[in-house]
Amino acid sequence: MSAHAFQGREAVLTKLERIRQADKLGQPLLFVGAEGTGKEATALEFARRLNCADPAACTPAARCESCVKALTFQHPDIRWIGAAPATATDDEVRALFEAKIEDPFHQSAWAATANVGIGDPEHPGPLTVRSLIQFVRRRAYQSPWKVAIVADAQRMNAAAANAFLKTLEEPPPATAIMLLTTGTEGMLPTILSRCQKVRFEPWPADELALLLTAATGAPPAAALAAARSADGNGRRAAALLRPGARMVADWATELFQALHRGDRAAAALSADDLHRGMVPSSCVPEDMPAKQVEAKETAEKRERAILLCESLNLLYSDAVGCREAGSAWQPRLHAVADAVRAAAGRRRTATLLTDLAAIDDARGDIDRNLNIGLVMAVLFEGLIAHAERDQAAAAAG
């Protein structure tokens, strides 16, 4: 991460500043937008700006003490919580913050499975709603604003959400509360009614590419390709630039072609490889260290399977685009355009859309910790069956 600022959405930050100037920060803010649209970085950057000791003199080359603390997650008047197990320790939380400092797109493995919990009454733990309520009730230590940020607010369990209602209804003076969510389904209507909504759209490709280059050092062309492939999802685009991502993308391309050949043996081997944390040798770069090839931890296996699902999603989406746009089609994945075009010519759009829904369902099942090998084996068999049905219909004329 840049030592100068959190890379938030400038247009949203301008809107938030207008809300501050209108003296309307007393009503909690609800940031709503798809995964990877910059909600967290924007909330953190707004918190930094709110508490900057001297905005006129504070510069990237010479940050004030408040900004330095904010940028390192050590500010006493800014608190971030998110989905985490009740057993999360202070050391584990600090390690999470260090990872976020290093990588602005980092997301804890907890985010996929844990809730935002209420916490024990006596010892609530560092990332719980009770700890946040205690923080909000204390007077500011060194800055004009107390800022509370709840990431993945849609994951607040019922006890946590109900406990937080009173604080949301009557925040203490000079307190800014920001709830970040990918969607409002399942959230308490009483929480939604207490918040002013701020919507986040996917990143424009050019803007995201500049951020990716600054954050990861990726060449501009590669950053732009990742931004376009990820449809404006910053976290997904960053994942596409990691060393193992190309390997998984190549695997997805091989698998896409195998599924359209009806190669059930290759599909079964891929499901087994995912379950064991392995990768087909044909997709492993010669210079890649062995430790980057084998995924040993469950979280690593899950992340790889999800990335493979996302890579398949791109290929099947491009196949839909190819069928619908015809000669005007502009592939997102130029390197595999011929393979996508060949498959799309033998498919029906309606069935491809069913395939996309099945891939999304499989991704969700893996996210919920279902058996990776079984989920993927069922998915691949279904994708083959659909391709065979379409091809038979095309042959029959």
User: Which pairing describes strands 146-150 and 78-81: parallel, antiparallel, or unpaired?
Assistant: parallel
Q: Across the chain, what does the average pLDDT equal? A: 92
Rounded-to-integer distance, Cα 181 and Cα 90, Å: 24
Rounded-to-integer distance, Cα 182 and Cα 39, Å: 9
Q: What is the pLDDT of residues 231-247, one digit of tens each?
A: 889 988 998 888 788 89
Q: What angle do CA 111, 113, 115 make, to 5 degrees?
A: 75
Predicted pLDDT of residue 4: 65
Predicted pLDDT of residue 313: 92
More confident: 382 or 104: 382
Distances in whole angstroms, Cα of residue 367 to Cα of each of 203, 278, 375? 24, 19, 11
Q: Edge-to-edge, what's the strand order for the sheet holding 146-150? A: 78-81, 146-150, 175-181, 29-33, 196-200
Q: What is the pLDDT of residues 185-202, one digit of tens each?
A: 989 999 999 999 999 999
Please, what are the domains in the chain? 10-201 (3.40.50.300), 242-396 (1.20.272)
Residue 157's CB is within 10 A of a number of other CB atoms, namely: 15
Percent above pLDDT 70 for the chain: 98
> Which SS3 state, helix, strand or coil, does residue 69 take?
helix
Distances in whole angstroms, Cα of residue 313 to Cα of each of 339, 356, 357? 15, 6, 9
Taking the alpha carbons at both ends of the chain, their separation in whole angstroms is 56
Q: What is the pLDDT of residues 28-73, one digit of tens each?
A: 999 999 999 999 999 999 999 999 999 989 988 889 999 999 999 9
Average pLDDT of the segment spanning 131-147: 95
Residue 206's CB is within 10 A of a number of other CB atoms, namely: 11
